[in-house]
Structures are given as C-alpha cells and as structure tokens.
Chain A
C-alpha cells in the first residue's frame, strides 16, 4: 500500500512524472560512452592479480606489437606526469597516515586490481588484447585481509609508514569526568555486542566511463566522466595534473547511478587527462563490470563494538563504541571520513545523557580502497545501535518496540541539542513508530508469532524494527571545518528569467538518477508562478554551472534546492521593484501570487511576471540605476544539517530446515519534511530500502586469505532483482525542517539506513526461541542454518 497524499493545489507536493525519464527510457539520453569523439584513443588497464606484490619488471614489448597499439606505459614511465599524488580531501586527524597513491603503481601493487601498467590503442579491443600481453613480473608478498590482523602490523603494507594504522579518532562526551565508566558500573542492564559490516560493492547500472578531450593549441581540456562530482573533480584534476583550473572543464553527461562510488577522483580519470595531454588526442576508457568489482571503491568494511548501559527502566545511561574501519589499500577522496560520518549517530534516536564514548581506529589492508557508499557511515551506526537496542530488550525481557518508546527523544524536546552538540531540527519518533506499527500490524504479527514459533516448527516468523535519524544536507561549512574536511558544504544556484518568461536555473548539484531537473523545476514553478515545463535546469557542466559542490550525502534538496528557492526570492524582489515602478505603486503595497504582482486590495492594478521579464530585458523603463535583466545568484551555506527520520518494520518467515529467509512484509515510514514530489520520494525509498535489504540478505564482497576477490562477477556478488525482494508498504509523516524556507530534509539514503537493521532484527527475532542472538550479514541461508545449528547444539549440550 502506498500512502497517497491528497493532491495539493500547487505544484509543490504533486506527483509530477519525472521529465528525465522519457530520454532515459528511450535511449536518447547520452552517457559518457555514447559520446561520439572522432580520433579517440582507448585506454586499457593492466591490473595486479596479486593483493600484495613487489613489481620486479614490466615488459611492454609484446603489447606494443599489437596492431592498433599507440603506446604502453608502466607506472615508472608515467611518474613525470603527476604534480602530486591522488587526492584525499579528508585528513581527519593531524597525524593521519596517508601513503602516496599514484594512478599507476610503481614499486608495489597493494590490492588485486591495482593498476600496474596501461595501454593506449586505436580501438578498445586492441587495447584489451594488448593489455593481456603486458608481461609484469611480481614477487608476491603476504596479503592483509583481516582487520584485526592488519592492526597487529604483522605485515606492514606501506613500509614507509611503519604501520598499517592510518588514524585513531576519538569523541568522548561526558557531563562530568568518568561519567561513562560510572554509568556502566551503576547500570541495571548492559549489553556488549560485536557486529561486522561486510564490504559491499557498489553496482551502478552504468559502470565508470571517462573521455578526456584536449584542445592541444589552446591548452584547454574537457573531461567527460560518469561522476557525481564534476566540480570537485575539476579542482582535483587541475591540482593533481598541474593544469590551470580555468582551462579545465568537467562534464558529467547522463550518469547511470553512483551511490557514492562516483563521489571520487579515480586513477582512470587522471590517466585519461594526462595521456590526452601527452598525446594531443582524446583518450577514453570504459570500465568493464569485472573491473567495477575490483577497482571502483567499496562500501562499509567495519568491525563494530558497541556497549549500552541502561537503568532499571531501560533508559540509556551511556554508549561506548569502538570501531575498526577498513580503509583498503589507499585513501581515496573521502575514505578516512566515512566512519566518522556515523560518529555522532551511535546513540540513534534516543535521549542520551552526556555519556558517550566513541573511538574509531582505521587500518590499511591489501584490498580495494573503501569510500562512500549510500549512507556512508550512517547505515553502519544505525545498524549497531538498532541491533544493540534489540539485544538490550532481549536482555531485559521486554518488547523492543517498548524499549525504543521509553528512550525516544520526545517531540516536545525538538529542536534537540544532542550530547554531541549537534542540534536535531525537528522530529516525532513516536508518531513514525506508531504509524509503522499500524501498517505492519505489529500486535497481530506478535500474536501469530506466538502461535507459530513453537518447538519443532519448520516455518517461523519474526518482526524487526529500526528507528533512525539521517544526518543529511551536507553540510554547514564550519562543521566540516571542525572535522578537517578540505572543502565547504554550500551550494550555488542561479535563477534567470528569459525575455519570454521562460526560466533557466543553473544548479551546482550533479544529479545521476535522482530527478533534480523535475524537482528543481517544481520549486521554481511554485515560487515564480510559472508552469514547471517553463523551467529549464542546467547542471553538471563546469562551463555552464561553474560553482557547485555536487551531489552526495542527501544534500541536493536541503542545500541546492533551498539555494534555488533563495535565488527565486532575489529575482522576485527585483521584479517587485520593477512592478512598483511600472504600476506607480509603493513596493510595500504589492503582493506576488500566481506569477502576478498586484496592488493589495486593488487586484486590477496588476502586472504579470511575463511583462516584467520583458521590461527587464528591453530595459526601456526601469527604475533609475537598476541593472537590466532578471537574474540572481545565491550561494547557500546551511546553518545546520537536516535530520530526516523514521521507523521501518520488517516481517520475515524463516525456513528452519534450509535457513531461507522470506520477507513477508516491509513497512517504511519516513519523514523527510516537506515532500517536493512524493513520486520521487517513493522512488528514493524503494531503491534505498532494497539496497539496505541487499546488505542484510544478499551482498558481500568475499575475499580469500590471499586477498583474491571471490565475488568477482554478478553471478557471485548477489545483487537482488525485482523478483527477489518484497513489495514495500510506504507511509510517511511530515515534520517540516525549521532551518530552511522549504521545510525539506532529504531522502536519498534513508531507506538504506533503516533497512539492514530492520531485516536482521526480524531474522534474529524469528529465531530467538531457538536461542539465536545474532546473525552475520548477509543472512544467507547457509549463515542462518549455521546460526540455528550453533544455538540449538549449544542448548543441547
């Protein structure tokens, strides 16, 4: 069931179909690989088959002999092309260790898939054939796959660093010294849990694709890339390659999904630009699906230790968290910051006193680097606290829903200053939980469960909940500064009324599937009183939209969308001055509604925006000193994050003989504040929930002890299809954000954040009568079967 809102009168809040879809569905949309670039050379990478190996020699001669091959290079051959190593923009601590990382490795290969040589040819097939013939000799060394093993420094990967530890980052908040320890000592109940966040492989529909087009005589360079971050990429490419920034243009054509994996600066992007410069010819590269599994960043990869202390009523009195986070072989763009995006959220949606003790230690392994993946740190945090809450309820012998209700931050406490100092803007957790419980028939399922989960039952049911906060709208620049992030968190917008009253919006966001063109046109239509079709949205080309900080972290609407609304206000202010001038009225007496300025109380003294737009263009009769044209620019730095929240409830049936988990029902009640377009909101929730459910039940990047990826294809890395997942029951509550004029919060990651803990809580709940207390992710049939065996054999001892 989908909770249909009554259709509002205005544009905002209506279920407008996405204007992006016809072009995407008919193949008219152009992806990077669709660009027809005459004379382009094709790049192919030679990748290390070893997780950790000294490169003793690279023989390119056989590759160079392949017809069509133009050049082939080892890492050493290219050393002169880089002005600096590949960028990491988030040095989270002063003493963070960051090994130099170049697009093609020179001395040592540090993961399976690390580039060790490359080939340029006139066709992609010749490049691929030649790459197979590059003869690289290796001296294999021991792989480091396990995080605790990495921490032991038994094998140090980057010998110059002397350790595998990259950093330790602590956040200890106590009302009085020793409060955390005291709370644990005095607690009526405590739980101490260890959870593993398996590595996930982001599988965007469109793998990465790059095409660098030089203008050899002017020195300008255009980089087309399937990226979420054209603006960041422009700055970073300029810096890393020593290209003057004003000569660098980055375009993200249609981009087929990213989920964080395209929030990066990749070796192949830098290589294409560097080689295009060197050869004076366009250079392009398309990632294969197999390369996507090896050489695109991966998500998650953490071992989490979480301890809760609670009083006799189950009220939380302290939270202690120790994280061990897997950086992979190198630090990519924001690798070290990912675990810290969750650092503030390990108390979840609960009213915790000043007794919070968080520490994250990060280590290098000889595996593909990790970085942002949908939710980035926040799903991990929510998983830990929501699983631990269930463990606490189990210890206390009370219903987990009841335990949560006792601890929720209450509606009247908002805006709520959390122990971390962050201010949660608005929320009503109890309302979301109540609505979800109704939709899920929580009490009914509990009654069915009592009847069904009897000793010897072959099919048992369980119900699990997760209540979450999503810290999104990244981000207030000063907060980012306090976290040592190297950039701000603002967003830019330009709103321009053309002479015929059509409106152009230039945004710094970089959509790659989210529907910004539709949503931004709706915001402008609502503000300016025009039809959404009359609004064009320009984006993702640094020559057209020079300022921006791109799309990630559910930031685009609460930052970029709000910037557009603010720019509209500026345009309206100016138009009002023109209207007052023309109507010979006082500005204060004018009102603007439905695209028309009129004198209050005298509606026939009115001027439509269309007339003012034309006046602004002709400039024949403007107020003295006013500049022609109707255009305004805004850069908006949000004063706070926004805090969407909600409750997800999952009901599962588990086959105790085979371990198979069947999701019977999935309810998601999300509150993202005001919804610009409920259709798009639902799409985001659908995708997000399935991605979280995929972590819970299906997906895992599996490595053997030698660091070989065992889930190297989509036959082993189990991305679920529509036939493998349930229909979702969506509901929502609407609690507007007080920090921005639209009241919006963001919805991109919410589903992913709620889903994994809700599903695993349900699976554990289904098996709790057998003594099962925890379940590794993914809850594959084999893992479930093993957990049942371990619990029942333990019991029969």
Chain B
C-alpha cells in the first residue's frame, strides 16, 4: 500500500510530456487520472522510476463535433464523457457506458486516454470504442498517427502505442440513430464487468464488442456477420464467444463467461433492435 520511491515531473503540454518521457526512458510512465496506475504502484506491481504527470494538460480535455465523428481529448474525464450533450446526441452508447465506469470518484479522476492506453480487457470504454469503430490519435517525437481501434489492442495491457508515444485524441463515429445497448454484468456496482457487451445495430450493420472475454477487448465479428446475413438475434448471439478466449478468475470460469456472453449479447441485440 506504499509505492516504491519514484520521481515526479509535471508536463504542461503534450510536446513537453513526450520530450520528458523520451528523456527519462524505459521506466518512465505517463500519469493521467492515476486510477489504474497508482493502484498497481501501491501493490508494487508497477514500479516506474519517473511519473510524467499529464493530468494538467488542459488543452487535451475536450469533446468536439468534427463532422462525421466526435473528437474526444485524451485527458477528458469519464464524467465529462458521461454528461456530454454532444455525445448523448451523436454517440449515446459511449456516454452511457462511461456512466458505468467504477463509481463517481473514479469517473471524476479517470481519463478517456488513460483507459484506452491502459488497454485493460476488463475496462468498459476500450470495448465500447472498439464496437463503435473508433480511431485513436497517437503523438510521438516524430509527429502524429492514427490507429484504428481494431488494430490497437495487442495483448493483455498491451497496445500499439510506442513507449514514447502519447495518446492525444479518440475519434468516435457518429451513430446516426442506430439502436444500441450496453450490458455490464457485475456483482457490485463499482466493479469491473465480469462480462460486458457494447452493441449497436442499424439496418444490416452492427458492432458488438465484449468486455473481459480475453486478453484484449474482443470484437464479436461472427455475431455481426451472422446478423448481416439475416440470422435471428438469438441465433447470432450463440456465436458471441467465437472470437473470445475467456480466462478464469474468482467470479467466473471460462464456461460461465461464454454462457454469460451469449445471454448478454442476446439481451443487448434485443435492446438495440427494439
């Protein structure tokens, strides 16, 4: 509960943060809301030597209409995503899902960029943005690049970000009135999902992603494929876990997770189709 000793520097801008990370090398880490990183440090599961605090980079906290998509700055807090009228209008699935992250304290501290960069398969917003076909913007010493959500998640807590790259923006396509549902199954309101489902549906198109069903957030492409070919919701839901590789923990065996995924995908699609 007491972290190992570390140094702390505060960055005023993305450029400065990237320069500082470059300067301090391997063991340096960005600190955003700190709600994933600090718990790991307190248990001494993470022992970075330097924290580069980006929490006060104010120009990265925004939610903007960018035409076909909504652009969200990496330092935007979950609470701002949850309460955003712009998102409520154009990407209600994301605003709703953000309201299910942890508890109010967590939502006031945790950031959109932090939860994406952390790439925790059990987190809600990586899977939700994956289902929505989002694009993430990364900035490094040599400029910026776009990474599709589908290419971003590479392994447990591993992303396509390079060590000296900072996530600066999340671009989420407008949903255009699609039906949607977010199903979070857990035992306590504040907990991570045992299994979660983010889904939307419009005519033959759909996006379905699973929370906590493998080492990364999982895009349930078989479900969408079946729906595109006219399968019924309950038949498509049977394919929920085709892409998943669920793990075992105190809350659920792999078999139970697969079962839950099928039930929750069915419920999500029913709600999204209603």
Let me know if B2 and A780 touch, CB within 8 A. Answer: no
A481 CA / B187 CA spacing, docked (Å): 45
A720 CA / B44 CA spacing, docked (Å): 26
A100 CA / B108 CA spacing, docked (Å): 51
Binary A-proximity of B41-78 (CB < 8 A = 1, otherwise 0): 00110000000000000000000000000000000000
Residue from A289, A780, A782 in contact with B1 in the complex, judged by beta carbons closer than 8 Å: A289
- Which segment of A2-10, A430-438, A625-633, A709-717 sits at the interface? A709-717
A160 CA / B103 CA spacing, docked (Å): 51
Let me know if A723 and B185 touch, CB within 8 A. Answer: no
Q: Does A657 contact B (CB under 8 A)?
A: yes
With A125-B2, A288-B1 known as contacts, the answer to whether A782 contacts B190 (CB < 8 A) is no
Q: Does A81 contact B (CB under 8 A)?
A: no
Q: Does A698 contact B (CB under 8 A)?
A: yes
**CB neighbors of B among A103-136 (8 A):** 124-125, 128-129, 132
Residue from A125, A710, A713, A780 in contact with B187 in the complex, judged by beta carbons closer than 8 Å: A780
Let me know if A702 and B250 touch, CB within 8 A. Answer: yes
Q: Does B260 contact A (CB under 8 A)?
A: yes
How far apart are B110's CB and chain A's nearest CB, in angstroms?
15
With A125-B2, A721-B189, A724-B188 known as contacts, the answer to whether A716 contacts B250 (CB < 8 A) is yes
With A658-B260, A782-B252 known as contacts, the answer to whether A128 contacts B189 (CB < 8 A) is no
With A129-B5, A290-B1 known as contacts, the answer to whether A718 contacts B187 (CB < 8 A) is yes
A782 CA / B264 CA spacing, docked (Å): 15
Interface size class of A (residues with CB under 8 A): 20 to 34
Q: A49: which B residues are within 8 A, CB to CB? A: none
Binary B-proximity of A686-728 (CB < 8 A = 1, otherwise 0): 0000000000001000100000001101011010110110000
**Chain B: how many interface residues by the 8 Å CB criterion?**
24
Let me know if A288 and B2 touch, CB within 8 A. Answer: yes
A702 CA / B249 CA spacing, docked (Å): 11
Q: Does A416 contact B (CB under 8 A)?
A: no
Q: A723: which B residues are within 8 A, CB to CB? A: 188-190
Binary A-proximity of B172-201 (CB < 8 A = 1, otherwise 0): 000000000000010111111010000000
Q: Does B156 contact A (CB under 8 A)?
A: no
Q: A710: which B residues are within 8 A, CB to CB? A: 250
A720 CA / B190 CA spacing, docked (Å): 9
How far apart are B135's CB and chain A's nearest CB, in angstroms?
31
Let me know if B253 and A698 touch, CB within 8 A. Answer: no
Instruction: Specify which of A128, A710, A782 lies most central, judged by the most chain B CB atoms within 10 Å of its CB.
Output: A782
**CB neighbors of B among A769-797 (8 A):** 780-782, 785-786
Q: Does B4 contact A (CB under 8 A)?
A: yes
With A290-B43, A782-B252, A782-B256 known as contacts, the answer to whether A698 contacts B188 (CB < 8 A) is yes
Q: Does B86 contact A (CB under 8 A)?
A: no
Q: B1: which A residues are within 8 A, CB to CB? A: 288-290
Q: Does B157 contact A (CB under 8 A)?
A: no
Let me know if A782 and B251 touch, CB within 8 A. Answer: yes
Q: Does B263 contact A (CB under 8 A)?
A: yes
Q: A129: which B residues are within 8 A, CB to CB? A: 4-5
Q: B250: which A residues are within 8 A, CB to CB? A: 702, 710-711, 716
Let me know if B44 and A718 touch, CB within 8 A. Answer: no
With A124-B2, A713-B43 known as contacts, the answer to whether A781 contacts B194 (CB < 8 A) is yes
Q: Which chain B residue has the least Cβ–Cβ distance from A661?
A: B187
Q: A780: which B residues are within 8 A, CB to CB? A: 187, 251
Q: A724: which B residues are within 8 A, CB to CB? A: 187-189
Q: Does B259 contact A (CB under 8 A)?
A: yes
How far apart are B255's CB and chain A's nearest CB, in angstroms?
9
A118 CA / B43 CA spacing, docked (Å): 19
**CB neighbors of B among A285-331 (8 A):** 288-290
A658 CA / B257 CA spacing, docked (Å): 10
Q: B4: which A residues are within 8 A, CB to CB? A: 129, 132
Instruction: Specify which of B103, B187, B264 lies most central, judged by the most chain A CB atoms within 10 Å of its CB.
Output: B187
A723 CA / B191 CA spacing, docked (Å): 11
Let me know if B259 and A715 touch, CB within 8 A. Answer: no
Q: A698: which B residues are within 8 A, CB to CB? A: 187-188
A785 CA / B251 CA spacing, docked (Å): 12
**CB neighbors of A among B122-151 (8 A):** none
How far apart are A255's CB and chain B's nearest CB, in angstroms?
20
Let me know if A785 and B191 touch, CB within 8 A. Answer: no
A289 CA / B1 CA spacing, docked (Å): 7
How far apart are A272's CB and chain B's nearest CB, in angstroms?
18
How far apart are A46's CB and chain B's nearest CB, in angstroms?
14
Q: A713: which B residues are within 8 A, CB to CB? A: 43
How far apart are B249's CB and chain A's nearest CB, in angstroms?
8
Return 28 A-B CB contacts under 8 Å, by A number.
A125-B2, A129-B5, A132-B44, A288-B2, A289-B1, A290-B1, A658-B260, A658-B263, A698-B188, A710-B250, A711-B250, A713-B43, A715-B191, A715-B192, A716-B250, A718-B187, A718-B188, A723-B188, A723-B189, A723-B190, A724-B187, A781-B187, A781-B194, A781-B251, A782-B252, A782-B253, A782-B256, A785-B256
* Interface residues, chain B, with chain A CB atoms under 8 Å away: 1-2, 4-5, 43-44, 103, 185, 187-192, 194, 250-253, 256, 259-260, 263-264
* Interface residues, chain A, with chain B CB atoms under 8 Å away: 124-125, 128-129, 132, 288-290, 657-658, 660, 698, 702, 710-711, 713, 715-716, 718, 720-721, 723-724, 780-782, 785-786
Going nearest first, the 8 A-B pairs with the smallest beta carbon separation are A288-B1, A723-B189, A128-B2, A724-B188, A657-B263, A782-B256, A716-B250, A782-B252
